Amino acid sequence: MSGPDHPPKTRTRNGCANCRQSRVKCDGKEPSCTRCWQKGWQCTREKLTLKWKSDYHSRGLAFGREGVWGKGTQSKKNSRAISTGEQNWHFNSTVYPWSFVNQDISTLRWLYDEERAPGQSSSVELSMFGLKRDRLGVPEQAPLWYSPPVFPYPQGQKYAIMVEYFIDQVCPRTTSSLKIASPFTSVILPFCLSGSVNGLAALQALAACYWSQSNPAHTSTAVRLKSQVLRELRRMIAADPSYTISPDPEVLVLMMMLSLYDIVDQCDKGWIVHLQGAKDIIRLRRKNLTNETQCPVTAFAELFFAFQDVMGRTACAKADLFGPSFWDQTDRSVNPWMGCSPELVSILFSILDLSRIRPKMDTDLAQEVDFSMRASALNRRLGSLVQVLADPEDRALQAVADLKRLACTVYLHCALYDAEPSTPIVRSLVRRIIEKLSALLQENLIINATWPIFVAAVELDPADGEDWQDPVTGELVCGRALVLRALATMAQSTVTSVARVRSIIETVWQSRDCDLAAGSSRRQSSQHNDWEWYVVPLSDALSLV
């Protein structure tokens, strides 16, 4: 113990060998210390030697002061030599042109450490690391306090809280699975955080726009960030037109985030502009970069736009932009983001193309026979389709995949066979869809089922009575009440404009009710089928993903 009567002991670094061996203090006098001079010993000093940590560990010895230390006592943990068989080798991740060498998504894990004290970080976890969700599939609400991370560029620091909101609230709503991370979490987020300052701003703009739907205070932030991204995108393209067809996926990411922004905001024709621009860029890139290996960011961006194109066309019946080459006719594996298999999308694409031929057919018998044979072939393909899940226990994804297959069958009969709500096959399929929706509502498992709900709703027979049980109240209600409840639930679990979808559905119902009240249909004198008469005129620029 140190004090007035016990001056603190000091150590010397030039003690002699005899004093060191005896573990006593050496006064370090030259040429002989006092203790060696009194005892008549030869006083020698040890030379400085270099000690290597790896040599000590290879012999199972502790190096230096490794171990647990305490006052007056000392204990050391000897590390055990690691045999070759116990070593785990990890392969390096692929480095793409946009990769940030010293940072990837793993460096943000500290933001989501459950044990970190309040005021230091959020208490939520990334979806890719096991994001906690409630039964609806929505992650638990994060606290509003937030300690912003340090980004590799200072521009992202100002709106850092939007990054957390994107991870916590937006990403989980972009997948139909409760068990598989969304590509927006596993692909787009790492790219924006480590490789693109404009991508980060676009990500923050989307998060602010989505947040502003429930909290208008963030509207100005969303508009400001969107304007910044658009301005930078125009500047980059004007400065270097070849940038649009370079291997760098940044321009596609920016256009994808801007499309989602416009879909969430008002779902008007603005997002179609980005879709058409992306189509031209993807076409040029595929033509000029035929030998380039496609990175995951580019692959997902292309999938995003191609899928948006197909699903939107089912409502508006316009010509395709991307073509059938994006869809493998033999791939039955369910994509968690799409909520269905590529083969189902391929069948739907063929139905769309064939439906555009029907109004142009004349009275030629050969054309009618060819059309009928192709429609029957698509019906058989759809009837035999079995979609495969990577995880058979993923009930939410399985439910959405089944709903989309049933909705595709309804659409086939309406688009190719002139079916309407009162047609027995359509009425039966719509009832099955609504029954499944009722079961999902009861379990709070409706995630990204916009298209099946839309198809079933617009083809729901207005004569159906109140014979469905409300999953919440237990009362008998009509199918329309269940559809509206499903839309209200889905508004909390998806990133799309549910308000516009509901508006179109209600307008179709009103039109059908008017025709039913008049006792006749205005469509009888028209060449258009039921879908083309009631749905198509209302659904321009509608996103159903």
Q: Is residue 36 part of a domain?
A: yes
Q: Is residue 387 part of a domain?
A: no
Asked whether residue 170 falls in the same domain as residue 27, the answer is: no
Q: Is residue 323 part of a domain?
A: no
Predicted confidence (pLDDT) at residue 301 exceeds the cutoff of 80: yes
Asked whether residue 171 falls in the same domain as residue 309, the answer is: yes
Choosing from 260, 289, 317, the residue where a domain stops is 317
pLDDT score of 468: 73
pLDDT confidence tier of residue 64, bands split at 50, 70 and 90: low
Asked whether residue 175 falls in the same domain as residue 300, the answer is: yes
**What percent of the chain is modeled with pLDDT above 70?**
74
Choosing from 30, 50, 70, the residue where a domain stops is 50
Higher pLDDT, 136 or 434: 434
Asked whether residue 309 falls in the same domain as residue 164, the answer is: yes
**pTM of model > 0.85:** no
pLDDT score of 135: 31
Q: Is residue 100 part of a domain?
A: no
Asked whether residue 46 falls in the same domain as residue 165, the answer is: no
- Phi and psi at 476, nearest 5°, equal -80, 125
Higher pLDDT, 24 or 444: 24
Q: Is residue 262 part of a domain?
A: yes
Q: Is residue 28 part of a domain?
A: yes
pLDDT score of 112: 43
Contact 341, 348 (CB under 8 A): no
pLDDT score of 119: 33
Length of the chain, in residues: 545
What are the residue ranges of helices labelled H in 240-334?
250-265, 270-288, 296-316
pLDDT, average across residues 484-503: 89
Predicted confidence (pLDDT) at residue 87 exceeds the cutoff of 80: no
pLDDT score of 473: 76
* Residue range of the domain that includes 274: 160-317
Q: If we measure between CA atoms, which residue out of 210, 318, 340 comes closest to residue 272?
A: 318
Domain count, the chain: 2
Task: Please give the C-alpha separations between residue 97 and each of 101, 246, 262, 295, 381, in angstroms, as whole numbers.
Answer: 10, 11, 29, 9, 41
pLDDT score of 75: 42
Asked whether residue 170 falls in the same domain as residue 301, the answer is: yes
Q: Is residue 405 part of a domain?
A: no
Q: Is residue 276 part of a domain?
A: yes
Q: Using alpha carbons only, what angle is made at residue 198 by residues 195 and 203, rounded to the nearest 5 degrees?
A: 90
Contact 451, 407 (CB under 8 A): yes
Asked whether residue 307 falls in the same domain as residue 175, the answer is: yes
Asked whether residue 164 falls in the same domain as residue 42, the answer is: no
Predicted confidence (pLDDT) at residue 98 exceeds the cutoff of 50: no
- For residue range 205-254, list pLDDT tens digits in order: 999 999 999 999 999 999 999 999 999 999 988 998 888 888 889 999 99
- For residue range 107-120, list pLDDT tens digits in order: 444 344 433 333 33
Asked whether residue 183 falls in the same domain as residue 44, the answer is: no
Report the CATH number at residue 25: 4.10.240.10
Choosing from 317, 345, 364, the residue where a domain stops is 317
Beta carbons within 8 Å of 224's beta carbon, 6+ residues apart: none
Reported for 225-228, long-range contacts at CB under 8 A and 24+ positions apart, including other chains, are: 225/159, 225/162, 225/201, 226/258, 226/261, 228/201
pLDDT, average across residues 516-528: 71
